[in-house]
Amino acid sequence: MSRYDQPASKYMRSPVRTVTVETDVQSVFALLNRYRISGVAVSEEASSGSPVVGVVTRTDLLQMDEPAHAANALSVRDVMTEGVIAVSADTPLSEVAATMVSDRIHRVFVVDGDRLAGVITPHELIRAVVDARHPTPISEYVTRPVLAILPDTKLATALEHLSESDVSGLVVVEEEWPIGVFTQREALAYGKLPGDTSLEGIFSPGLVCLANSTSLHRAATQALAAHVKRILAMDGCEVDGIVSGLDIAKAVATD
Protein backbone atom coordinates (compact mmCIF):
# COMPACT_ATOMS: atom_id res chain seq x y z
CA MET A 1 0.00 0.00 0.00
CA SER A 2 1.27 3.46 -0.92
CA ARG A 3 1.88 6.14 1.68
CA TYR A 4 -0.09 8.39 -0.63
CA ASP A 5 -3.46 6.68 -1.00
CA GLN A 6 -5.22 9.69 0.57
CA PRO A 7 -7.73 11.45 -1.70
CA ALA A 8 -6.73 14.64 -3.49
CA SER A 9 -9.32 16.52 -1.45
CA LYS A 10 -7.21 16.08 1.69
CA TYR A 11 -4.30 18.13 0.35
CA MET A 12 -5.76 20.27 -2.41
CA ARG A 13 -5.47 24.04 -2.15
CA SER A 14 -8.78 25.87 -2.19
CA PRO A 15 -10.05 28.28 -3.38
CA VAL A 16 -8.18 28.53 -6.67
CA ARG A 17 -7.25 31.87 -8.23
CA THR A 18 -9.22 32.18 -11.46
CA VAL A 19 -9.58 34.59 -14.36
CA THR A 20 -11.71 34.65 -17.52
CA VAL A 21 -10.64 34.68 -21.15
CA GLU A 22 -11.39 38.42 -21.18
CA THR A 23 -8.99 39.24 -18.31
CA ASP A 24 -6.07 41.35 -19.52
CA VAL A 25 -2.58 39.87 -19.35
CA GLN A 26 -1.29 42.67 -17.11
CA SER A 27 -3.84 41.66 -14.46
CA VAL A 28 -2.66 38.03 -14.64
CA PHE A 29 0.93 39.21 -14.25
CA ALA A 30 -0.09 41.18 -11.15
CA LEU A 31 -1.96 38.18 -9.69
CA LEU A 32 1.01 35.85 -10.07
CA ASN A 33 3.33 38.33 -8.39
CA ARG A 34 0.92 39.34 -5.61
CA TYR A 35 0.11 35.79 -4.51
CA ARG A 36 3.48 34.23 -5.40
CA ILE A 37 1.81 31.57 -7.54
CA SER A 38 2.92 30.11 -10.86
CA GLY A 39 -0.44 29.83 -12.62
CA VAL A 40 -4.14 30.66 -12.59
CA ALA A 41 -7.17 28.76 -13.85
CA VAL A 42 -9.20 30.18 -16.72
CA SER A 43 -12.93 29.69 -16.27
CA GLU A 44 -16.11 30.87 -17.92
CA GLU A 45 -17.14 32.42 -14.61
CA ALA A 46 -14.23 33.73 -12.53
CA SER A 47 -16.34 34.12 -9.40
CA SER A 48 -17.36 30.44 -9.32
CA GLY A 49 -14.47 28.90 -11.25
CA SER A 50 -16.88 26.89 -13.39
CA PRO A 51 -16.20 25.36 -15.78
CA VAL A 52 -12.41 25.47 -16.22
CA VAL A 53 -11.43 25.98 -19.86
CA GLY A 54 -7.68 26.55 -19.60
CA VAL A 55 -4.73 27.77 -17.60
CA VAL A 56 -2.23 30.63 -17.73
CA THR A 57 1.21 30.03 -16.23
CA ARG A 58 4.47 31.89 -15.90
CA THR A 59 5.74 29.81 -18.81
CA ASP A 60 2.92 31.14 -21.00
CA LEU A 61 3.76 34.74 -20.08
CA LEU A 62 7.49 34.24 -20.63
CA GLN A 63 6.83 32.89 -24.13
CA MET A 64 5.08 36.09 -25.19
CA ASP A 65 6.74 38.34 -27.76
CA GLU A 66 6.42 41.34 -25.43
CA PRO A 67 6.89 41.64 -21.65
CA ALA A 68 3.76 40.71 -19.68
CA HIS A 69 3.81 43.95 -17.69
CA ALA A 70 3.58 45.92 -20.95
CA ALA A 71 1.06 43.78 -22.84
CA ASN A 72 -1.65 46.41 -23.04
CA ALA A 73 -3.64 44.89 -25.89
CA LEU A 74 -3.51 41.20 -24.96
CA SER A 75 -6.08 39.19 -23.02
CA VAL A 76 -5.95 35.74 -21.46
CA ARG A 77 -7.53 34.34 -24.62
CA ASP A 78 -4.36 35.27 -26.52
CA VAL A 79 -1.87 33.49 -24.25
CA MET A 80 -3.64 30.74 -22.29
CA THR A 81 -3.12 27.01 -22.68
CA GLU A 82 -6.49 25.56 -23.58
CA GLY A 83 -7.81 22.52 -21.73
CA VAL A 84 -6.65 21.37 -18.32
CA ILE A 85 -5.73 18.18 -16.53
CA ALA A 86 -8.35 17.60 -13.85
CA VAL A 87 -9.22 14.81 -11.41
CA SER A 88 -12.07 14.11 -9.03
CA ALA A 89 -11.74 14.87 -5.32
CA ASP A 90 -11.44 11.17 -4.40
CA THR A 91 -8.51 10.46 -6.75
CA PRO A 92 -5.54 9.06 -4.75
CA LEU A 93 -2.72 11.55 -4.33
CA SER A 94 -0.28 9.04 -5.85
CA GLU A 95 -2.30 9.08 -9.09
CA VAL A 96 -2.33 12.87 -9.13
CA ALA A 97 1.46 12.87 -8.75
CA ALA A 98 1.83 10.28 -11.52
CA THR A 99 -0.18 12.56 -13.82
CA MET A 100 2.16 15.46 -13.04
CA VAL A 101 5.17 13.32 -13.93
CA SER A 102 3.76 11.82 -17.13
CA ASP A 103 2.45 15.16 -18.43
CA ARG A 104 5.34 17.22 -17.00
CA ILE A 105 2.97 19.73 -15.42
CA HIS A 106 3.06 21.52 -12.06
CA ARG A 107 -0.65 21.66 -11.29
CA VAL A 108 -3.60 19.31 -11.48
CA PHE A 109 -7.05 20.78 -10.87
CA VAL A 110 -9.57 19.02 -8.67
CA VAL A 111 -13.18 19.21 -9.85
CA ASP A 112 -16.59 18.24 -8.54
CA GLY A 113 -18.59 17.83 -11.73
CA ASP A 114 -18.16 21.17 -13.51
CA ARG A 115 -17.20 22.97 -10.30
CA LEU A 116 -13.56 23.80 -9.64
CA ALA A 117 -12.90 22.53 -6.11
CA GLY A 118 -9.13 22.93 -5.70
CA VAL A 119 -5.68 22.40 -7.13
CA ILE A 120 -2.70 20.16 -6.35
CA THR A 121 0.78 21.59 -6.95
CA PRO A 122 4.24 20.47 -5.78
CA HIS A 123 3.69 22.52 -2.62
CA GLU A 124 0.78 20.28 -1.62
CA LEU A 125 2.86 17.19 -2.41
CA ILE A 126 5.65 18.47 -0.17
CA ARG A 127 3.15 18.69 2.70
CA ALA A 128 2.09 15.11 2.02
CA VAL A 129 5.72 13.94 2.07
CA VAL A 130 6.20 15.55 5.49
CA ASP A 131 3.07 13.86 6.86
CA ALA A 132 4.10 10.49 5.41
CA ARG A 133 7.59 10.73 6.96
CA HIS A 134 9.03 9.47 3.68
CA PRO A 135 12.41 7.96 4.72
CA THR A 136 14.19 7.55 1.37
CA PRO A 137 17.35 9.69 0.94
CA ILE A 138 16.98 12.64 -1.40
CA SER A 139 19.84 11.26 -3.49
CA GLU A 140 17.31 8.78 -4.92
CA TYR A 141 15.20 11.54 -6.44
CA VAL A 142 17.63 14.22 -7.63
CA THR A 143 17.81 15.58 -11.15
CA ARG A 144 21.29 15.76 -12.63
CA PRO A 145 23.11 17.77 -13.84
CA VAL A 146 22.27 21.08 -12.18
CA LEU A 147 22.22 24.13 -14.43
CA ALA A 148 24.33 26.78 -12.69
CA ILE A 149 25.13 30.42 -13.38
CA LEU A 150 27.25 33.09 -11.68
CA PRO A 151 25.82 36.10 -9.82
CA ASP A 152 27.38 38.48 -12.36
CA THR A 153 25.61 36.75 -15.27
CA LYS A 154 23.67 39.21 -17.41
CA LEU A 155 19.89 39.09 -17.26
CA ALA A 156 19.55 38.49 -21.01
CA THR A 157 21.81 35.43 -20.75
CA ALA A 158 19.85 34.02 -17.81
CA LEU A 159 16.55 34.52 -19.65
CA GLU A 160 17.98 32.73 -22.67
CA HIS A 161 19.09 29.77 -20.54
CA LEU A 162 15.60 29.51 -19.00
CA SER A 163 13.98 29.65 -22.42
CA GLU A 164 16.21 27.01 -24.01
CA SER A 165 16.33 24.53 -21.11
CA ASP A 166 13.57 22.30 -19.79
CA VAL A 167 13.80 23.76 -16.27
CA SER A 168 12.01 26.50 -14.34
CA GLY A 169 15.03 27.68 -12.37
CA LEU A 170 18.82 28.10 -12.49
CA VAL A 171 21.10 27.71 -9.48
CA VAL A 172 23.32 30.72 -8.75
CA VAL A 173 26.79 29.73 -7.51
CA GLU A 174 29.74 31.66 -6.14
CA GLU A 175 33.10 29.92 -5.84
CA GLU A 176 31.23 26.70 -6.72
CA TRP A 177 28.88 27.04 -3.72
CA PRO A 178 25.12 27.57 -4.30
CA ILE A 179 23.86 30.92 -3.01
CA GLY A 180 20.44 31.22 -4.62
CA VAL A 181 18.24 30.62 -7.66
CA PHE A 182 16.99 32.53 -10.67
CA THR A 183 13.55 31.18 -11.54
CA GLN A 184 10.62 32.03 -13.78
CA ARG A 185 9.30 34.20 -10.96
CA GLU A 186 12.38 36.45 -11.08
CA ALA A 187 12.36 36.34 -14.87
CA LEU A 188 8.85 37.80 -14.94
CA ALA A 189 9.42 40.26 -12.13
CA TYR A 190 12.64 41.71 -13.58
CA GLY A 191 12.25 41.02 -17.30
CA LYS A 192 11.61 44.72 -17.93
CA LEU A 193 15.15 45.63 -16.83
CA PRO A 194 17.91 46.16 -19.42
CA GLY A 195 19.40 42.91 -20.71
CA ASP A 196 22.87 43.80 -19.46
CA THR A 197 21.64 44.01 -15.84
CA SER A 198 23.62 41.71 -13.54
CA LEU A 199 21.72 39.04 -11.61
CA GLU A 200 23.39 40.33 -8.45
CA GLY A 201 20.59 41.69 -6.31
CA ILE A 202 17.71 40.21 -8.30
CA PHE A 203 18.18 36.46 -7.91
CA SER A 204 16.36 34.75 -5.02
CA PRO A 205 18.18 33.32 -1.98
CA GLY A 206 15.32 30.80 -1.68
CA LEU A 207 17.19 27.53 -1.67
CA VAL A 208 17.71 24.68 0.80
CA CYS A 209 21.05 22.81 0.70
CA LEU A 210 21.23 19.43 2.47
CA ALA A 211 23.43 16.33 2.49
CA ASN A 212 22.31 13.88 -0.17
CA SER A 213 21.74 11.29 2.56
CA THR A 214 18.99 13.42 4.16
CA SER A 215 15.61 11.68 4.22
CA LEU A 216 13.01 13.13 1.87
CA HIS A 217 10.60 14.03 4.68
CA ARG A 218 13.26 15.99 6.58
CA ALA A 219 14.22 17.82 3.41
CA ALA A 220 10.55 18.55 2.72
CA THR A 221 10.11 19.88 6.26
CA GLN A 222 12.95 22.34 5.74
CA ALA A 223 11.59 23.35 2.33
CA LEU A 224 8.19 24.15 3.89
CA ALA A 225 9.79 26.15 6.69
CA ALA A 226 11.88 28.14 4.22
CA HIS A 227 8.97 28.59 1.77
CA VAL A 228 10.98 27.13 -1.12
CA LYS A 229 10.32 24.40 -3.67
CA ARG A 230 13.88 23.42 -4.58
CA ILE A 231 16.27 21.32 -2.53
CA LEU A 232 19.94 21.00 -3.44
CA ALA A 233 21.50 17.65 -2.56
CA MET A 234 25.13 18.09 -1.55
CA ASP A 235 27.91 15.49 -1.62
CA GLY A 236 30.30 17.14 0.78
CA CYS A 237 31.07 20.51 -0.78
CA GLU A 238 29.89 19.49 -4.24
CA VAL A 239 26.40 19.74 -5.68
CA ASP A 240 25.08 16.23 -6.34
CA GLY A 241 21.76 17.25 -7.86
CA ILE A 242 18.53 19.14 -7.30
CA VAL A 243 15.13 17.98 -6.08
CA SER A 244 12.46 20.03 -7.83
CA GLY A 245 8.68 19.91 -7.82
CA LEU A 246 8.50 17.17 -10.45
CA ASP A 247 11.06 15.11 -8.53
CA ILE A 248 8.79 15.34 -5.47
CA ALA A 249 5.90 14.23 -7.66
CA LYS A 250 7.93 11.24 -8.86
CA ALA A 251 8.59 10.22 -5.24
CA VAL A 252 4.89 10.40 -4.37
CA ALA A 253 3.89 8.56 -7.56
CA THR A 254 6.32 5.66 -7.19
CA ASP A 255 6.35 5.02 -3.43
Query: What gap in Å lies between CA 42 and CA 51, rounded to an integer?
Result: 9
pLDDT for 71: 63
pTM for this structure? 0.89
pLDDT for 46: 64
**1 is a domain residue:** no
Express each pLDDT in 88-113 by its tens digit. 999 999 999 999 999 999 999 999 88
Query: What gap in Å lies between CA 114 and CA 82, rounded to an integer?
Result: 16
Q: Do 33 and 113 have their domain in common? A: yes
Mean pLDDT of the region 235-254: 94
Show the domain range for 240.
Answer: 138-254
Q: Do 189 and 245 have their domain in common? A: yes
Express each pLDDT in 201-232 by its tens digit. 999 998 899 999 999 999 999 999 999 889 99
Q: Do 89 and 14 have their domain in common? A: yes
Q: Do 26 and 110 have their domain in common? A: yes
Query: What gap in Å lies between CA 202 and CA 209, rounded to an integer?
Result: 20
> Which of 86, 120, 154 is a domain's end point?
120
181-198 burial: b if 16+ Cβ within 10 Å, else e:
bbbbbbbbbbbeeeeeee
The domain total for the chain is: 2
CATH number of the domain enclosing 110: 3.10.580.10
Query: What gap in Å lies between CA 185 and CA 203, rounded to an integer?
Result: 10
**133 is a domain residue:** no
Alpha helices in 69-150 (DSSP H): 76-79, 93-103, 122-132
Q: Running DSSP on this structure, what letter comes out for residue 146?
A: P
**AA identity, residue 10:** K
Q: Do 106 and 66 have their domain in common? A: yes
